[in-house]
Amino acid sequence: MRMKRALITLWLVLSAAAPARAEDGYDLWLRYRPVTDAARLAEYRAAVTQLVVDGDSPTLRAARDELRTGLRGLLGADVPLSASATRDGAVIVGTPASSRTIGALGLGDALRAVGREGYVVRATRVGGRRAIVVAANSDVGALYGAFRFLRQLQTYGTLANLAVASAPKIQLRLLNHWDNLNRSVERGYAGHSLWAWDTLPDASNPRYRDYARANASIGINGAVLTNVNANARILTPEYLAKVAALANVFRPYGVRVYLTARFSAPIEIGGLKTADPLDPAVRAWWKAKIDSIYALIPDFGGFTVKANSEGQPGPQDYHRTHADGANMFAEALAPHGGVVMWRAFVYSNEVPVDRVKQAYTEFKPLDGQFRDNAFVQVKNGPLDFQPREPFSPLFGAMPKTPLMMEFQVTKEYLGQDTHLVYLGQEFEEVLRSDTWAKGKGSTVAKVIDGSLHGYARTGIAGVSNIGDDRNWTGSQFNQANWYAYGRLAWDPEMSASDIADDWLRMTFTNDPSFVRAVKAMMKTSREAVVNYMTPLGLAHIMATGHHYGPGPWVGGPNTRMRADQTPTYFHRADSLGLGFDRTATGSNALEQYAPPIRARWGNQRTVPDSVLLWFHHVGWTERLPATHGRPLWDELVARYNAGVDSVRAMQRTWDAQRGKVDDERFRDVQSFLAIQEKEARWWRDAALTYFQSFSHLPIPARYEQPAHPLQYYLQVRCPANRDKPRCDNVP
Ligand code: GCV
């Protein structure tokens, strides 16, 4: 025993002294670096002595390979493969169908409870010997279980009495890639698209597999490969062959491919004169197209469709409804088991009374008219992925139509690549929001996991933040948002804090002082961005087009843009006050919510500060509970300053981690936080000097005064149409 300890200590010393592998973020949360806690390492080495993977499907081979790589990295030595458990410490992986050992273990009830994709990971005895069983009903369940087992070691959890059972609460857990065929990525801040259409299908790329591995490790089981602003060419045989090649790489990892369908494809690539969804020739064209896709990709998932929104064609062009359009696809996909995900992000040609009312107005009347393999995919809020919005009133309002959640993982409106914002907090806030659709406790999570309305199908989509940057997501901490999205898609009731804990341990270090401090930092980061960009329920005051940096002044009669695309439309500042009256005296968007919410949010005495200016136009000197009894102007100044202060606190927290993590990533994060601090000040000063031109009130002397007059901020330019807008003259 003494000898063993000494050897372990020697190995720890040697591995610490060995030249470190470059930490460029490529490995994500699957780093598998040596366990540095000697007691845990001893425990793991005793508990894991051989690997038995029963079955030889591509998916079980992927599980075996992952376990071998992971265990070798974590334990510092190969764990030998064995055909059967011959000693204490076997890790046995498989399904009752692939493994006689697992079949004989009497896991029937436990396995029944975890369904097709779930798993059971258990310390047990097999033939009188200690073993750990990773069991599932399907090969992909076993793969998920293998990742879960590795996570136990990566996070330094004990293996004693290990007893984990888990099943996803949502069936379709998808990433939506807004990737174009020229490899640009709409709202992408991490380089080019991963999909190298020019070299597919002939050339593969290790990143395709690593992408699928990363997704499988968090349970993501589908990828919509193309932009919702769709290009019909993806549906041509040339491109479908490329899609099939990607599908082949992803398949062992349980990741199915989906595409976006351009509604006018029958005209553009089919030679038809119309795309009318009720025209028999159009329907026949789509049916034939879909049949041809399944001939190439038998497990093709289906289509996401953006129609009659922001200039995209759709059924309304032919005076048909969204349901008519969706049902045409659903009917053709149904025989193959495919689905259509019809987006509710509609943005019609007419400027509406209030843009945030539109999705509900158009879709609610269609409830019950969609075929059962059609989803309606709804953005988390009624507007467009703002730092904070109330939940979309559609959640809870369409009991007869499976609603999918659409989150945006890429941070279009939240500082894009550089600002550190942990979206776990935002996703959690939305998922826990109570719609009151069936009384108290009717949370958004229960709507989308199907439990509230008994949906037979369930799904969730996250707009991907992934590109070909070496670190995948443009910044080290943006990886946490991909990770958190996947974990919440598996279980929408999980705590964002627990997810951050796991992510930090796997991505950086298990050092408890690091995990404690940096987790706290991540948890405050979302409120920080809300405060320095859009406090108190403000929204969409970003510069127009690229949405990077402040632009609250954009709008009014002198712009050539539609009113409802401009910040002045949304914040409604005037000499009296600030905010959009969405109560009965204004646009009455509030009527789209359930009565208890209407009552609370509609009353200035009870509305929470988080949505104050979303629903109310408040006088500059008005004192409300939501402004902590301070005049609105003072509260606004306090919030913008709090945002900047939080970023400075984040910097201090991070600076204190020097030496606890590798230098490469430490410096990366540090330099981005410096950009964030500078830009938080820019946001604060630009917004406050602008709003001050209405309030005519001073910024109290106890606060930092703006570095420049409003005129200065008006001339800061961020070039549009760049992957990563960098702005000139940021103060
Ligand atoms: C893909 C916002 C974004 C657009 C995006 C659109 C959508 O308007 O700015 O880039 O288009 O949402 O979700 O369809």
Q: Do 363 and 448 lie in a common domain?
A: yes
Site of tokens 């050539």: 560
Question: Going by DSSP bridges, is the β-strand pair 172-176/163-166 parallel, antiparallel, or unpaired?
Answer: unpaired
Which domain-ending residue is among 166, 183, 204?
Answer: 166
Atom 13, ligand 1: which residue's CA is nearest? 345
Strand order in the sheet with 163-166: 50-53, 90-94, 129-136, 119-126, 163-166
Domain of residue 128, CATH code = 3.30.379.10
How far, in Å, CA of 573 to CA of 555, rounded? 12
Which domain-ending residue is among 117, 139, 166?
Answer: 166
Find all residues with CB under 8 Å of 172, minimum gap 6, and list them.
Answer: 221, 222, 301, 339, 375, 404, 457, 458, 459, 460, 461
- How far away, in angstroms, is 590 Cα from ligand 1 center? 24
Going by the DSSP 8-state scheme, the letter that residue 309 receives in this structure is B
Number of compact structural domains in the chain: 3
Beta-carbon neighbour count of residue 509 at 10 Å?
Answer: 19
Beta-carbon neighbour count of residue 653 at 10 Å?
Answer: 17
**CB distance 620 to 574 below 8 Å:** no
Determine the residue of 310, 392, 413 to mutate for testing ligand 1's pocket, defined as the one with the most ligand atoms within 8 A of the Cβ atom.
Answer: 310
The amino acid that residue 161 corresponds to is: N
Considering Cα of 94, then 461, then 668, then 196, what sign does the dihedral take?
positive
Q: Do 477 and 576 lie in a common domain?
A: no
Residues taking part in catalysis: 310, 384, 412
Report, as ranges of residue numbers, the positions in the chain whose pLDDT lies below 70. Answer: 1-21, 349, 719-726, 728-729
Q: Is 45 helix (H, G, I), strand (E, B) or coil?
A: helix
Q: Is 251 left (phi over 0), alpha (psi -120 to 50) or beta?
A: alpha
How far, in Å, CA of 531 to CA of 524, rounded? 11
Residue 260 lies in a domain: yes
Query: How many residues are listed for the chain in this entry?
Result: 731
Determine the residue of 384, 407, 564 to mutate for testing ligand 1's pocket, defined as the one with the most ligand atoms within 8 A of the Cβ atom.
Answer: 384
How far, in Å, CA of 541 to CA of 466, rounded? 26
How far, in Å, CA of 49 to CA of 671, rounded? 43
Q: Do 71 and 30 lie in a common domain?
A: yes
Rg of the chain in Å (alpha carbons):
26
Q: Residues enclosing ligand 1, CB less than 6 A?
A: 178, 186-187, 228-229, 306, 310, 345, 384, 412
Q: Do 158 and 178 lie in a common domain?
A: no
CA distances from 559 to 121, 213, 419, 491, 562 (A): 60, 47, 29, 45, 8
Q: Do 117 and 253 lie in a common domain?
A: no
Residue 728 lies in a domain: no
**Shortest-distance atom of ligand 1 to CA 463:** 13
How far, in Å, CA of 333 to CA of 373, rounded? 8
| Beta-carbon-side half-sphere exposure of residue 327 (alpha carbons within 13 Å) | 16
- How far away, in angstroms, is 76 Cα from ligand 1 center? 46
- Residue ranges of alpha helices (H) inside 37-118 are 38-47, 58-75, 100-103, 108-114
Residue 715 tokens, joined = 């001339």
**CB distance 688 to 636 below 8 Å:** yes
| Beta-carbon-side half-sphere exposure of residue 477 (alpha carbons within 13 Å) | 30
Q: Do 176 and 150 lie in a common domain?
A: no
Q: Do 115 and 144 lie in a common domain?
A: yes
How far, in Å, CA of 255 to CA of 212, rounded? 7
Following CA atoms 528, 533, 539, 543 in sequence, which dihedral angle do they give, to the nearest 10 degrees? -150
What are the backbone angles phi and psi of residue 684, rounded to the nearest 5°?
Answer: -60, -50
Burial 671-701 (b: 16+ CB within 10 A, else e): ebbebbbebbbbbbbbbbbbbbebbebebee
How far, in Å, CA of 60 to CA of 528, rounded? 44
**Shortest-distance atom of ligand 1 to CA 186:** 10
**CB distance 609 to 627 below 8 Å:** yes
Find all residues with CB under 8 Å of 341, minimum gap 6, and list them.
Answer: 224, 258, 302, 303, 304, 305, 374, 375, 376, 377, 404, 459, 461
Which of these, 231, 244, 342, lies nearest to 293 by C-alpha position?
A: 244
Q: Do 262 and 162 lie in a common domain?
A: no
**Shortest-distance atom of ligand 1 to CA 178:** 1
**Shortest-distance atom of ligand 1 to CA 187:** 10
Residue 731 lies in a domain: no
Determine the residue of 187, 306, 308, 464 to mutate for testing ligand 1's pocket, defined as the one with the most ligand atoms within 8 A of the Cβ atom.
Answer: 187
Atom 7, ligand 1: which residue's CA is nearest? 345
Q: Do 149 and 179 lie in a common domain?
A: no
Beta-carbon neighbour count of residue 240 at 10 Å?
Answer: 21
- Residue ranges of alpha helices (H) inside 540-603 are 567-571, 595-602
- How far away, in angstroms, is 118 Cα from ligand 1 center? 34
Determine the residue of 260, 342, 345 to mutate for testing ligand 1's pocket, defined as the one with the most ligand atoms within 8 A of the Cβ atom.
Answer: 345
Atom 12, ligand 1: which residue's CA is nearest? 384
Residue 476 lies in a domain: yes
**CB distance 651 to 677 below 8 Å:** yes
Q: Do 489 and 552 lie in a common domain?
A: no
Q: Do 455 and 331 lie in a common domain?
A: yes
- Predicted pLDDT of residue 724: 53
**CB distance 283 to 277 below 8 Å:** yes
**Shortest-distance atom of ligand 1 to CA 229:** 1
- How far away, in angstroms, is 563 Cα from ligand 1 center? 17
Residue 730 lies in a domain: no
Q: Do 124 and 205 lie in a common domain?
A: no
Find all residues with CB under 8 Å of 24, minimum gap 6, and list them.
Answer: 470, 471, 664, 665
Atom 11, ligand 1: which residue's CA is nearest? 229
For the chain, how long is the longest CA-to-CA vector? 82
Atom 8, ligand 1: which residue's CA is nearest? 384
How far, in Å, CA of 297 to CA of 246, rounded? 10
- How far away, in angstroms, is 194 Cα from ligand 1 center? 20
Residue 520 lies in a domain: no
Boundaries of domain holding 52: 2-8+21-166
- How far away, in angstroms, is 309 Cα from ligand 1 center? 9
Q: What's the pTM?
A: 0.96
How far, in Å, CA of 401 to CA of 376, rounded? 7
User: Residue 221, class by beta-carbon neighbours within 10 Å (0-12 exposed, 13-18 middle, 19+ buried)?
Assistant: buried
**Shortest-distance atom of ligand 1 to CA 312:** 14
DSSP string for residues in 216-242: HHHT--EEE-S-SS--GGGGSHHHHHH
How far, in Å, CA of 216 to CA of 221, rounded? 7
CA distances from 336 to 14, 203, 238, 302, 331 (A): 55, 29, 22, 9, 10
Domain of residue 700, CATH code = 3.90.1330.10
Site of tokens 């009669």: 557
Domain of residue 330, CATH code = 3.20.20.80
- How far away, in angstroms, is 357 Cα from ligand 1 center? 17
- Residue ranges of alpha helices (H) inside 453-580 are 478-490, 496-507, 512-533, 567-571
Find all residues with CB under 8 Å of 60, minimum gap 6, and list them.
Answer: 53, 54, 93, 94, 98, 139, 142, 143
How far, in Å, CA of 466 to CA of 262, rounded? 23
Which domain-ending residue is among 112, 140, 166?
Answer: 166
- How far away, in angstroms, is 718 Cα from ligand 1 center? 19
Residue 707 lies in a domain: yes
Residue 669 lies in a domain: yes
Following CA atoms 18, 19, 25, 31 in sequence, which dihedral angle do they give, to the nearest 10 degrees? -20
- Predicted pLDDT of residue 82: 97
